[in-house]
Structures are given as C-alpha cells and as structure tokens.
Amino acid sequence: MYREQIKVLDCTIRDGGLINNHSFTDEFVREAYIALSKSGIDYMEFGYRSSKELCPVHEYGAWKYCDDEKIREIIDGIESKLKISIMVDAHRVREQAFAPADQSPVDMIRVATYVKDIDKAIDLARRVKDLGYEVSVNIMAISKENEFALIEALDQLAQTPVDVVCVVDSFGALYCEQVEYLVKLYREHLPGKEIAVHMHNNQQLAFSNTIEGIIHNANYLDASLFGIGRGPGNCCLELLVGFLKNPKFNLSPILKFIQEHMLPLREQIEWGYILPYMLTGMLNEHPRAAIAYRATPDKDKYAEFYERLLEGLE
C-alpha cells in the first residue's frame, strides 16, 4: 500500500465540471485547493484549457478554459506544495496559447485523446513539453479500442518525451483482470514512462480497479472528492488516501471539505452509483444515454432504459 513513487491527482474540478458546465464558484475551488494542500495530495486538476471559439464562453464556467490568470486568482496568498494540472482535448483544440512553464502556475498538462487522434496528441504533447511542462497523455475509451491500434499508439508514444500515460476506463466497463492486462501492456510498450489509472464508478469498481492498477505498478492515480465526476463519478479520493497509508497524506482536511462543501453540492447536482450508469458500464457504452435519460420524467424506469439500450445494440 505504501510506495514512495505513487502520486495522487485530484480531478474534482475537472471531471466534476462535466456535470455543471465547469461552473464551480471561486470560493469552492479555492477551498478545495486549501483542503487538498493540507491533505498532502500531489496534484489538483483545475479543469480544461479549451478553445473559446469552439466552446462558447456563455455556455461554460471559468474552469472550461483555465486561464493562467484565473488560476493565480484562486491560489493567491496560499502557501502550498500542491502541483496544478489542466487537461486539453487533443481532438477539440485549435492553436492554443501556453506560456512557458516557468511563467505559469500550471505544472502538468494532461492531453486527452482517442487512439485515432494520437498524432494530434503527440504534436500537442511535444509542444507543451518543449515549454517545460510535465506531460501526461490520457487515452480515452480504451474499452472500445482495437488492441492492435492501441499498441500502435503506445509504440508511438514510447518515442516521445511524454512523462505519464494513463489507462482510462471512460465507460466504467473494465474489470480487475482487464485493468491488470492493460497496465502490464502499457508498461511493456512504454519503457521508462510512468503509468496512470483513471477509473469510473459505473459498476462500483473504480476504487478496486485503482488498487488493481497499484498492484501492477501504476504510480499515478486519479481520484476525486466524494467520487464526483460525470455520471457515476470516479474513484473516491477519501477511500484512496485511507488505503495508501502514506504518512504524508492527511485525511482530515478532505473529510472536512466533503462535510462542508460536497454534501451541499450533492443536493444540487447528481453523481454516483445510479442504475442507468451501471447499465451503460455493463454494456460498455458511453454514459451520455444515461445522462439524457436521467433528465426525463421516466428517469427511474430502469427496466425500460435497459431495454432501450439493448435495442440500440442490435
């Protein structure tokens, strides 16, 4: 459970932003930053760096764009060793402006990509690496990918200066045996690079699958406060911190933040284990169908939703 190389990344604001259009208040983000700083967590992911021409400002909050100045406003006056990360979708990006790393509050840029867009991801990763950032590439929806194409993408990444490559269970469809297989596959094809895991909780397996990744030497671990994230959410940060037994971690600030901020938020927006998300995970389908169904008057007609999913697969 204790391994010095392990780094924990909190993705509360970034993944949680997918269910409120990235509209967390400045106070919420600042208090999260303070709590995570006190807890000893390694990274906090503030959100996305998105093109404003592709993602209109009137539709989203500040954490869809993660401007350096906005981040500085949040962290101003707080002493912290907590590193900051942001995510960039390689397939949704036009030419982005990134300051050199020594002029930015951001430490790590995580490039999200599908296998088919790996060339775009590598181009972006090289560009930000040259500016001095730590760089991770998160290959999404791998439970749907052809393994030969995935291996080709991994072999391409092996030739780049990328620091970390993440196994992402986008649909919450993976079981522990598959996590073991994929982490070992990534390690085989990415010598010298760190492997990360980002697990979704459709089938209540995010925590156990994260542990499975740890067992097979994934050293970068994603989690979120109270498991917040799109649909069923992610591995719960409080569970992971309790499991790791690293003396640098302090669980109390995390619990206090959940008590004071996450519980009230849970009354406003929905996430966590809910049957429609379980069903999309079981069937290895994108949760968008469940998200849409939860917005209808029939949101709790689970059998009817299941039949609709099955019809769509025929």
pLDDT one-digit tens code per residue, 44-76:
999 999 877 777 777 899 999 999 999 999 999
Confidence of residue 8 (pLDDT cuts 50, 70, 90): very high
Q: How many CB atoms lie within 10 A of CB 124?
A: 23
pLDDT of residue 312: 87
Domains in the chain: boundaries? 7-266, 275-313
Report pLDDT for 133: 98
Q: Tens digits of per-residue pLDDT, 80-102?
A: 999 999 999 997 776 677 999 99
Can you give the pTM of this predicted structure? 0.95
pLDDT tens readout for residues 117-129: 999 999 999 999 9
- What pLDDT digit, counting tens, does each position of 195-246 carry? 999 999 999 999 999 999 999 999 999 999 999 999 999 999 999 999 998 9
pLDDT at 39 over 70: yes
The 10s digit of each residue's pLDDT in 266-313 is 999 999 999 999 999 999 999 999 999 999 999 999 999 999 999 988
Mean pLDDT value across residues 26-48: 98
Task: Give the CB-side neighbour count of residue 4, counting CA atoms within 13 A.
Answer: 0
Q: What is the pLDDT of residue 1?
A: 60
Residue 311 has what pLDDT?
Answer: 92
Q: What is the CATH number of domain 7-266?
A: 3.20.20.70
Across 101-115, average pLDDT: 98
